[in-house]
Amino acid sequence: MIADWLWEISPTSFKTGNKERIERDVYKLYQSWEVNIENFRQHAFTVRRQRFPQFANSNALYLLGKERGFSRFKSETEEEFRNRVINAIPWYEKAGTVKGIKEILSLYGFENVKITPVLQTDPNRWAEFRIEADVRNGISEEKFSLISELLPRIKPTHEVLEKLIIYLTSNFKQNRATACLSGHDITVYPYQVKEIQTNFGDYRAIGYQAVHTTTVYPYQS
């Protein structure tokens, strides 16, 4: 009991005299404090837990992220943001490296990430790179928006993302659509050299303005 513990650490002067411990006013005071002290202990424990992003509530997680220089992206879920705050040190250590970009993108559902410097094909474009990745079961507008915010934070500061190529794989019906304003070429994948085989409807749509070439795969005559 808390009252007993307080009695044990009390000064000797509190314990002098012939009265039994339970008859002493000081001990009775300790007993009256017990409920409040226990409540305070529980609150202190709860507050302490909020310092750990694994256990923090939404408001505390926001503050922990702010401490680490992170703001939650508009399309980022709370659990994705929590994971980023938990891994803040590895994030800062690995951001800007090929290994780091791959690991960070994998946290957001991107698989088989491939990063290629454009200078391998065009020596005059030494500060550009492209990313290719697989995404299972499609990509939502929210996820695309998230990646658009994420990539500038994790790419090398001196390099420019030339292109992000996403390969979609799924085991259910797909609706594919794209729209482009003033460009030269637009290509819709997945590309397959053999006929596509499906057991469901396959819907494709393209809207464009001033596009020179439009190609849609898989091609069907």
User: String of b and e for 184-197 (b: at least 16 CB within 10 Å)?
Assistant: eebebeeeeeeeee
Q: Count up the domains in the chain and report the number.
A: 3
Q: What is the mean pLDDT of residues 185-201?
A: 47
Question: Residue with structure tokens 């390969």?
Answer: 167
Claim to verify: residue 140 and residue 183 sit in the same structural domain:
no
In a domain, 43, yes or no: yes
The residues, any chain, with a CB within 8 Å of residue 170's CB and separated by 6 or more, are 136, 137, 138
In a domain, 68, yes or no: no
pTM confidence score: 0.51
Which range marks the domain in which residue 16 is found? 2-48
Residues in the chain: 221
Q: Which region holds residue 219: left if phi is over 0, alpha if psi is between -120 and 50, else beta?
A: beta
Claim to verify: residue 149 and residue 180 sit in the same structural domain:
no
In a domain, 57, yes or no: no
Q: Classify residue 141 by burial, with Cβ atoms within 10 Å: 0-12, 13-18, 19+.
A: exposed
* Residue 88 exposure: Cα atoms within 13 Å on the Cβ side: 17
What is the per-residue pLDDT across 24-77, written as a single tens digit (0 to 9) for each? 888 788 788 888 888 887 888 888 889 899 999 999 999 999 998 888 888 788
Spatial separation of the C-alpha atoms in residues 82 and 50, rounded to whole Å: 12
Claim to verify: residue 142 and residue 103 sit in the same structural domain:
yes
Give me 168's structure tokens: 């979609």
In a domain, 41, yes or no: yes
Looking at residue 178, its pLDDT comes to 52
Three-state secondary structure call for residue 12: helix
Nearest of 197, 216, 218 to residue 207 by alpha carbon: 216
Looking at residue 175, its pLDDT comes to 53
Residue 172: pLDDT over 90: no
Claim to verify: residue 11 and residue 28 sit in the same structural domain:
yes
